[in-house]
Amino acid sequence: MKKFLIAILMAMPMLAAAQDNTWERIEQEPVQKENPDAKYLAEGAVPVVDGKVCWQTTITAPGKSAQQIYDILLKQMTKMVNEPNQIANSTIALQNSETYELGAVFHEWLVFKSSALSLDRTKFNFQLFVKCANGKAEIKITRITYDYDMDRKPVHYDAETWITDKYAVNKKRTKLYPLSSKFRRKTIDRKDFIFNKFNTLLNENN
């Protein structure tokens, strides 16, 4: 009896395999997980213009005059230079209501990680330029630098030699280099936030 049971148990995997008609299964392509850094690895994510990191965009605002756009963005930029994350000397440096041009200098904290036990952040310096016209605004962010580890051993980085593809992305464009990755991510996020905020303000009543 014992031998009979052993024989049945040994035969069960063979029976299961015989009933496993793999051709009857619905074929599915393997799902490839999206790289969480895809946005930051994309070609052109950090553009260089005339040797300088420079993001530029044109925001359309149908029905709004150059003066209206100028007033809206001046109000927002004035708010920005007075936000809690700003450091001394952030200011509106250019206001020209005749040419409808604005320029601001920002020195702000860019926080990578904050907890009860540690705070990892950098001083983020950049300039923001705006050129308004009827129905649109041309926005530019450039002259970007970082002052890191200010409380211990300060290190200064230029965006051109720290967050550009050459210095922040591997040759296969599959990953970011560890040291500069957090700077590249947070800078792109900050740029996106500013551009999206301007777009929302200029189009919220359209």
pTM, entire model: 0.83
What confidence score (pLDDT) does residue 178 get?
95
- Averaged over successive runs of 10 residues, the pLDDT of the chain (206 residues) comes to 55 55 66 85 96 98 97 98 95 98 98 92 97 98 95 92 97 95 98 98 87
Alpha helix stretches (DSSP H) within 26-95:
38-41, 66-80
Residue-wise pLDDT for 18-63, tens only, equals: 566 766 666 666 666 788 999 999 999 999 999 999 999 999 999 9
Per-position DSSP letters for 121-151, written without gaps between them? EEEEEEEEEEEEETTEEEEEEEEEEEEE-TT
Radius of gyration of the chain (CA): 27
Closest CA to 87 of 103, 104, 106, 74: 106
What confidence score (pLDDT) does residue 153 get?
87
What confidence score (pLDDT) does residue 203 get?
96
